[in-house]
């Protein structure tokens, strides 16, 4: 009943959704050239063979999918993976990172006509939803067509659980549409079961099954030559308020480590112009990557305000500060620098990676600090002590290796659905 009311309501608000998307285009939050995709109009033909549709809301979820996408493609020569996301940033990143036989489209807005166009065209043989973004029209329309669905890497916070409990029939209707729900943790699994999900299994977090980020060898060599023998460190994926902490630490560090260069990579590169103006106003000698500039001999801050280059930066920097952990954003994946032998420093807010952070600290694979002063002290120790730095990176890579089984568990749980999808595609050929 509630799902039907929602469907009717979304028919009525179609003009408002169009106006909303137009405003997003004006603010750079939608790609005007690809706006038809948001209304279910495909940008290309459906490939032959098995089509597995994987939906991740934004950049974090979609990047977590990459190792799984690679394994899914390896598992079937006739498989194509259609990845949908809803943000311009995720589309840009996936455009650089998706392997052959994988393609990206923007997810259709949750209007009945857009959803039907999308499904009419793509006719997926299997749908994988990542984490917890649940669009009622899209889920119910997929279920009505008999397309098997799995909720992968499912996460449900206490706050989200409380919200869904206010609409229990809608939650049960949506969650019961999934043939399998693969939870990140037992706590997530319990919440999903309480809301009506069936066949709930704990597979772990596929974000933990990280692969080493790619690096542009040419870009790496050019930057390495420009930096020369200068010591350097990286503040990676920083959020508003964290640049001040990194800069405070850098001022202290520069007194102890002559010639030190800070590589500053904001989480959202569109903040680059604002950060460049602020840094210049504070008197820092700055070069900006988005302008094609390279570090010079007197550069103090190299602002890496571009997408898709963290792999290159981790390879350049022997020490990395993890952004999102000095403000209450929950941190970012510490395995990314670990796999590229950059020693890890993070702040007090690692809630999104609490288990990983705990294991890294217990194994001596990372150092947790509280503020700019303690960040500078820890970075100085690591920059000046190669043996300590090597110990940290070796321990961190060992912890990362211990999490590799998450992907195997996920694929094992999906195996019956994958066999069904492949069989359906071959039967329809």
Let me know whether 30 and 54 are in one domain: yes
> Looking at residue 127, what is its pLDDT?
98
Same domain, 200 and 61: yes
**282 and 166 part of one domain:** no
| Together in a domain, 30 and 116 | yes
The CATH code of the domain that includes 335 is 3.40.50.2000
Residue 262: its pLDDT value, please? 98
**205, 283: one domain:** no
Domain count, the chain: 2
Per-residue pLDDT band for 1 (boundaries 50, 70, 90) equals low
Confidence of residue 93 (pLDDT cuts 50, 70, 90): confident
Of residues 185 and 289, the one with the higher pLDDT is 289
Same domain, 78 and 183: yes
pLDDT at 233: 98
pLDDT computed for residue 428 by the predictor? 67
pLDDT at 60 over 80: no
375 and 243 assigned to the same domain: yes
The overall pTM is greater than 0.85: no
Residue 248: partners with Cβ closer than 8 Å, 6 or more residues away = 372, 373, 375, 376
Is residue 386 within 8 Å of residue 395, measured between CB atoms? no
**pLDDT tier, 62 (very low <50, low <70, confident <90, very high otherwise):** confident
Task: Specify the CATH number for the domain of residue 67.
Answer: 3.40.50.11720
Average pLDDT, integer, range 338-350: 97
Residue 414 has pLDDT above 60, yes or no: yes
Residue 140 and residue 240 in one domain: no
- The DSSP secondary structure of 104-172, one letter per residue, reads EEEPPPS-HHHHHHHHHHH--SEEEEETT---HHHHHHHHHTT--EEEEEE---HHHHHHHHTSHHHHH
Per-residue pLDDT tens over the stretch 225-237: 999 999 999 999 9
- Is pLDDT at 11 greater than 70 in this prediction? no
Mean pLDDT of 317-321: 98
Q: Which residues are catalytic?
A: 61
On whether both 198 and 233 belong to a single domain, the answer is no
pLDDT of residue 354: 87
Residue 174 sits in the same domain as residue 258? no
Residue 429 clears pLDDT 70, i.e. is over it: no
Mean pLDDT of 42-71: 89
Question: What confidence score (pLDDT) does residue 276 get?
Answer: 97
So what's the pLDDT on residue 2?
57
Residues 202 and 240 in one domain: no
Average pLDDT across the chain, whole number: 93
Q: Please give the residue range of the domain that contains residue 116.
A: 2-209+405-428
Asked if pLDDT for residue 211 goes beyond 80, the answer is: no
Looking at residue 5, its pLDDT comes to 66
Confidence grade of residue 17 (pLDDT, cut at 50, 70, 90): confident
Report how far apart, in Å, the C-alpha atoms of 107 and of each of 29, 45, 115, 118, 397 are.
Answer: 14, 16, 9, 9, 35
111 and 127 housed in the same domain: yes
């Amino acid at each position: 009943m509630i799902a039907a009311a929602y469907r009717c309501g979304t028919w009525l608000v179609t003009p408002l959704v169009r106006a909303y998307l137009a405003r997003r285009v004006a603010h750079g939050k939608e790609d005007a050239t690809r706006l038809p995709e948001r209304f279910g109009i495909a940008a290309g033909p459906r490939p032959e063979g098995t089509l597995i549709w994987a939906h991740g809301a934004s950049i974090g979820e979609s990047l977590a999918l990459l190792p799984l996408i690679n394994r899914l493609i390896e598992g079937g020569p006739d498989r194509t993976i259609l990845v949908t996301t809803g943000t311009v940033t995720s589309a840009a990143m996936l455009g650089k990172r998706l392997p052959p036989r994988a393609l990206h489209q923007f997810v259709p807005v949750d209007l009945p006509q857009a959803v039907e166009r999308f499904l009419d065209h793509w006719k997926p043989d299997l749908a994988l939803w990542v984490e917890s973004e649940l669009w009622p029209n899209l889920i119910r329309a997929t279920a009505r067509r008999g397309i098997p669905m799995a909720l992968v890497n499912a996460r449900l916070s206490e706050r989200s659980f409380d919200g869904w409990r206010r609409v229990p029939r809608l939650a049960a209707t949506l969650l019961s549409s999934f043939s399998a729900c693969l939870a990140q943790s037992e706590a997530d699994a319990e919440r999903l079961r309480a809301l009506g999900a069936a066949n709930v299994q704990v597979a772990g977090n596929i974000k933990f099954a990280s692969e080493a980020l790619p690096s542009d060898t040419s870009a790496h060599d050019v930057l390495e030559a420009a930096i020369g023998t200068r010591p350097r460190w990286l503040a990676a994926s920083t959020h508003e308020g964290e640049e001040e902490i990194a800069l405070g630490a850098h001022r202290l560090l520069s007194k102890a480590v002559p010639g030190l260069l800070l590589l500053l990579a904001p989480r959202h590169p569109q903040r680059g112009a604002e950060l460049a103006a602020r840094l210049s106003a504070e008197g820092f000698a700055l070069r900006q990557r988005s302008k094609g500039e390279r570090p010079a001999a007197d550069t103090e801050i190299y602002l890496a305000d571009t997408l898709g280059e963290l792999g290159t930066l981790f390879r350049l920097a022997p020490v990395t500060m993890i952004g999102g952990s000095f403000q209450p954003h929950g941190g970012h994946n510490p395995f990314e620098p670990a796999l590229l032998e950059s020693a890890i420093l993070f702040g007090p807010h690692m809630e999104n990676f609490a288990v990983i952070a705990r294991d890294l600290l217990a194994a001596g694979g990372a150092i947790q600090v509280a503020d700019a002063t303690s960040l500078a002290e820890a970075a100085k120790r690591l920059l000046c002590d190669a043996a300590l730095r090597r110990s940290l990176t070796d321990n961190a890579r060992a912890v990362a290796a211990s999490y590799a089984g998450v992907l195997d568990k996920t694929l094992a749980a999906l195996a019956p659905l994958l066999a069904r999808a492949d069989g359906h595609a071959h039967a329809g050929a």
